């Protein structure tokens, strides 16, 4: 393995350079990138941030593809916190100097840190080298490495639709319980809302929020529409 150095911001916001083993226990999932991210040729879309319902903070996303994966991380109940590009790895291979930032560092609910990277459209030699370096660093820092594909198609459209309801909102406990009761068996969304007795527009909003919170579930292979089947989570159709 080449000699790798990791650059990140410490607790006081100062830029530091450390060996991989010094990353053990460092809360990178709470840090900003060591320097401002810069878009490069070939990135889809523009630089943007994702407001995370998981953390209540903005997560840096250097491309549209990263925003889609941030949506999935936000929706994943196993993730307790995550940050975009909080560490930059530097190493030399021959006479070539490399530097690369894993897309996200996440902390799971069982306190395991993950380096989350997006699978590229084409996995060429450069990608394989970066992934090999990251896995060596992860072994020294007590991380796991997770390669995620970018969500696409109907699943992505459903996630983005539900993400519009990720912001905290007051849901009357009585209304919430009425909706959960109405969907104890699979039924069309509009039918369940009507059966719950919750006012229609409010009911539809709450159903979307309950799906985002994973209290209700849907068929992720079908578009989410008013007549889509909805049921209480952890219940098989």
Residue 187 resides in a domain: yes
Residue 25 resides in a domain: yes
pLDDT at residue 37, rounded to an integer:
62
DSSP 170: -
Q: What domain count does the chain have?
A: 2
CATH number at residue 194: 1.10.10
Of 115, 148, 181, the residue at which a domain comes to its end is 148
pLDDT at residue 62, rounded to an integer:
84
Q: How far, in Å, CA of 106 to CA of 115, rounded?
A: 7
**Residue 106: which of 187, 30, 194, 164 has the closest Cα?**
30
Residue 237 resides in a domain: no
Of 148, 169, 187, the residue at which a domain comes to its end is 148
For every one of its 237 residues, what pLDDT tens digit does the chain have, with 9 covering 90 and above? 789 999 999 999 999 999 999 999 999 999 999 987 655 544 544 557 899 999 899 999 988 999 999 999 999 999 999 999 999 999 998 888 999 999 999 999 999 999 999 998 888 899 999 999 999 999 999 999 999 999 999 999 999 999 999 988 777 899 999 999 999 999 999 999 999 999 999 999 999 999 999 999 999 999 999 999 999 997 443
Helix (H) / strand (E) containing 206? helix 200-212
pLDDT at residue 35, rounded to an integer:
85
pLDDT at residue 237, rounded to an integer:
33
pLDDT at residue 38, rounded to an integer:
57
DSSP β-ladder status, 113-118 and 143-148: parallel
pLDDT at residue 236, rounded to an integer:
41
Q: How far, in Å, CA of 177 to CA of 181, rounded?
A: 6
Q: Which two tokens stand for residue 220?
A: 């992720």
Q: Which residues pair with 231 in a beta bridge?
A: 217
Q: How far, in Å, CA of 110 to CA of 80, rounded?
A: 9
Q: Examine the domain organization and report whether 80 and 182 are in the same domain.
A: no
């Amino acid at each position: 393995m080449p000699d790798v150095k990791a650059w990140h911001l410490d607790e006081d916001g100062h830029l530091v350079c450390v060996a991989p083993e010094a990353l053990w226990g460092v809360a990178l999932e709470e840090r900003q990138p060591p320097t401002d991210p810069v878009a490069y040729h070939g990135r889809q879309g523009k630089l943007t941030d994702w407001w995370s319902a998981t953390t209540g903070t903005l997560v840096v996303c250097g491309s549209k593809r990263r925003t889609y994966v941030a949506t999935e991380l936000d929706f994943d109940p196993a993730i307790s916190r995550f940050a975009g590009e909080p560490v930059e790895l530097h190493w030399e291979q021959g006479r070539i100097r490399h530097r690369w930032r894993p897309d996200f560092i996440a902390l799971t609910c069982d306190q395991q840190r993950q380096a989350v990277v997006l699978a590229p459209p084409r996995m060429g030699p450069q990608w394989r080298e970066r992934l090999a370096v990251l896995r060596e660093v992860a072994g020294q820092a007590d991380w796991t490495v997770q390669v995620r594909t970018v969500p696409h198609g109907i699943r992505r459209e459903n996630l983005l639709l539900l993400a519009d309801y990720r912001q905290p909102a007051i849901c009357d406990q009585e209304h919430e319980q009425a909706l959960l009761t109405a969907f104890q068996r699979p039924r069309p969304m509009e039918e369940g809302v009507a059966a719950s007795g919750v006012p229609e527009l409010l009911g539809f909003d709450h159903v979307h929020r309950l799906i985002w919170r994973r209290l209700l579930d849907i068929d992720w292979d079908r578009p989410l529409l008013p007549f889509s089947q909805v049921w209480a989570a952890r219940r098989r159709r």
